[in-house]
A and B are shown apart, each in its own frame.
Chain A
Amino acid sequence: EAGVAQSPRYKIIEKRQSVAFWCNPISGHATLYWYQQILGQGPKLLIQFQNNGVVDDSQLPKDRFSAERLKGVDSTLKIQPAKLEDSAVYLCASSQVTENIQYFGAGTRLSVL
Chain B
Amino acid sequence: QQPVQSPQAVILREGEDAVINCSSSKALYSVHWYRQKHGEAPVFLMILLKGGEQKGHDKISASFNEKKQQSSLYLTASQLSYSGTYFCGTEISGGYQKVTFGTGTKLQVIP
Contacts and interface: CB of A to CB of B under 8 A. Distances in A.
Interface of B: 2, 30, 32, 34, 40-44, 47, 55, 87, 91, 96-104
Interface residues on A, range: 20 to 34
A14 interface: no
A43 B47 CA distance: 17
Contacts, number: 54
A72 B47 CA distance: 26
B97 A42 contact: no
Contacts of B98: 45, 48, 55-56
A55 B44 contact: no
B91 A100 contact: yes
Given A42-B103, A42-B104, A100 B41 contact: no
Q: Which 10 A-B pairs have the closest CB atoms?
A: A42-B101, A104-B41, A100-B97, A43-B101, A42-B87, A104-B42, A101-B44, A42-B104, A106-B41, A56-B98
A72 B34 CA distance: 26
